[in-house]
Amino acid sequence: MKSRLIMNLVLLAIIAVLGVVAFLKPGKQKPETPSLLTLDASALTRMTLQNKETLVFEKQDGAWRLTAPFVAPVNQVRAGQLLEVAKARSEANYPLKPEDVAQFGLDKPQAILTLGDATLQFGGTDPINMRRYVRLGDTLHLVDDNFFHHLTAPATDYVDKKLLPEGAKIRAIELPGSKATKSPEGQWAAEPSDDGKTNFGELASSWATARAIDVKRLDLEKDKDIVGETIRIGLAEGAPVEFVVIKKQPDLILARKDLGLKYEMTSETSRELLNLPKPPPPAPAGGKPGEPNQEQDDDDDRHEGMGEPDDDHDGNEESGGDDSGHDHDEDGD
C-alpha cells in the first residue's frame, strides 16, 4: 500500500514536470516583433519631418544637410536618430478604419515622418501601456514611446553646433584688430606682429573644434540690420566663413548671416576664440587680488586671543579666589 502511494506521487511529479516543459517550450525562441519599416538607410536620400514646422533633410556627398526651413549643416547623429524611428518595434497592429482615426489622435498628427515613399503619422498614446499610436498606410501600430522628443524638436536642434565644417583646415584667422595667415610651409605670420606672443596653431585648433552651447535663428526683424565686429576664418577649401560678433559678455554670441543663425559660446570658449588673456584670479573677500584678506587676519587675531591665558590673568583669578574666601570668613565671624 505504501509503495503504491509512493509510485503515484512519483507519477504525479513526472506529469507536472512534463506540463511545465510543454508550457515553457525550452529551446524555442519567442519570435521578434516586426519593425515599423524595413528600410535601406544607405539608399535613402531625403527625409521630411513635419511638426510645428516642416524640416527637409537631403543627403549631399554622403552627409545629411538641412534644406528647409533654412539651409544649414546637420548633426549627423541627430539625423540618424530619425532613421532609428523606422526601426521601432511594432508591439501590436490592427487595421485602421477611417472613422477611428480621431480617437487615436491621428486626425491631427503631432508629427509626420516621411522616409522615401513611406509616411509615418504619430498620434496619441495608449493610456494603459503608454505606447505611441503610429499610422502606416491603413494599419495602426503601437510602439514603445522612446523617440517622440526627436519628432517634436525644432529645426535648430538638428543643426551642427560646430562653428566650422568637420575636418576644416584653417589657413587664415582675422580677428578684430589682428590677422594671421598660414604659409604653405605651415608657418603663421601675424599682422601686426605680436612678437610671437600668440600660438596661432593652438588658436586655429580652438576654432576648428569649437562648438556652441546653443544655436538659434536670427530674428528677421531684430537682426536684419545687425552690425558688429567681423571675424573671418579662411579655409584651405571653399570660401571663408564670416561671423559677426553680436555680444561678447557674459557669453560670446556669433552670427552667421549667410545661414541666418546665431551661435552662443561659453565665456571660456569666447576667451580662446578671441585670443583674450586669462582673467585674474578672483579677489579675496574684502580685498584686492594678491592682497591679504583682512577679515581672515582679524579672525586669526581673535583665535590667538582665545589661546592660553596670560600670567596676569591667572594671577587675578587666584587673587580673586583668595579675597572671596577671606570675606566669607569675616562674614562668618
Cell numbers describing residue 199: 600660438
Determine the structural domain holding residue 133 and report its residue range. 41-158
Indicate if the pLDDT at residue 42 is higher than 90. no
Residue 103, all three cell numbers: 480617437
89 occurs within a structural domain = yes
Domain end call among 158, 190, 220: 158
In this structure, are 139 and 66 located in the same domain? yes
Quote the CA–CA distance of 80 and 64 in Å, as a whole number: 9
pLDDT per position as a tens digit, 222-281: 766 677 899 999 999 989 999 999 998 888 999 999 999 999 999 899 999 998 876 667
Co-location of 148 and 206 in the same domain: no
Tell me the per-residue pLDDT of 64-113, one tens digit each, with 9 for 90 and over. Answer: 999 999 999 999 999 999 999 989 999 999 999 999 999 999 999 999 99
pLDDT of residue 205: 95
Residue 89, CA distances (Å) to 36, 113, 208, 213 in order: 6, 16, 40, 33
Whether 183 and 261 map to the same domain: the answer is yes
pTM equals 0.70
Whether residue 134 lies inside any domain: the answer is: yes
- The count of structural domains within the chain is 2
For residue 132, being part of any structural domain is answered with yes
In a domain, 321, yes or no: no
Q: Are residues 112 and 192 in the same domain?
A: no
Q: What angle do CA 249, 255, 256 make, to 5 degrees?
A: 160
Residue range 206-221: average pLDDT? 91
Residue pair 217/261 in contact by the 8 Å Cβ criterion: yes
Same domain, 143 and 183: no
Written as nine digits, the cell of 49 is 519631418
Q: How far apart are CA 49 and CA 142, in angstroms?
A: 20
Q: Is residue 307 part of a domain?
A: no
Of the residues 105, 134, 158, which one is the last residue of a structural domain? 158
Q: Is the backbone peptide bond immediately before 250 cis, with ω within 30 degrees of 0?
A: yes
315 three-class SS = helix
Q: What is the mean pLDDT of residues 113-140?
A: 95
Residues 85 and 137 in one domain: yes
Give pLDDT, residue 196.
Answer: 76
Domain boundary among 119, 136, 158: 158
49 and 140 within one domain? yes
Q: Which residues pair with 244 in a beta bridge?
A: 230, 255
User: Which pLDDT belongs to residue 206?
Assistant: 95
Q: What count of other Cβ atoms lies within 10 Å of the Cβ of residue 246?
A: 18
pLDDT at residue 306 tops 50: no
pLDDT digits (tens, 9 = 90+) for 183-199: 999 999 998 887 778 89
HSE-CB at 126 with a 13 A cutoff on CA atoms is 16
